[in-house]
Amino acid sequence: MMARPPVRRLLFIVSPERMDLYQALRTALWNEMDCEIIVDRRKGERRQAQAGSAPAGASDRRGAQRRQRAEVDREIRECGWAVVNISLWAEDSVDRFRRG
């Protein structure tokens, strides 16, 4: 049996300073079942360096996720919004992202 390709799922993240854009996206995409529009509620980096933590430059399992987050953060700052394709993410990581 062949595996089904993942269904496309898009997450639109809008700056809280651009509620006009948030409303416009909700109006434009209200009937798109594969799109979710949320307001970015994150406040800076959650992980803080601690004594005894790995030295700078050490391998980090979440390196790719951090690079992606940095890119999304940049897009939100510069454009007021970003879109993330969450089709290929594991379901539990999608739920963690949505909960903030």
Q: Where are the domains of the chain?
A: 1-41+63-100
pLDDT at position 33 is 85
Q: What are the residues facing 81 on neighbouring strands? A: 14
Q: CA separation (Å) from 99 to 24, 27, 38, 56?
A: 23, 23, 11, 29
Q: How many residues does the chain have?
A: 100
**Tens place of pLDDT per residue across the chain (100 aa):** 565 555 778 999 999 999 999 999 999 999 988 899 999 988 765 444 455 555 555 555 556 667 778 899 999 999 999 999 887 656 665 556 555 5
pLDDT at position 8 is 77
Residue 38, helix vs strand vs coil: strand
pLDDT at position 96 is 61
Residue 52, helix vs strand vs coil: coil
Tell me the C-alpha distance between 5 and 90, whole Å.
14
Q: Which two tokens stand for residue 25?
A: 């996206």
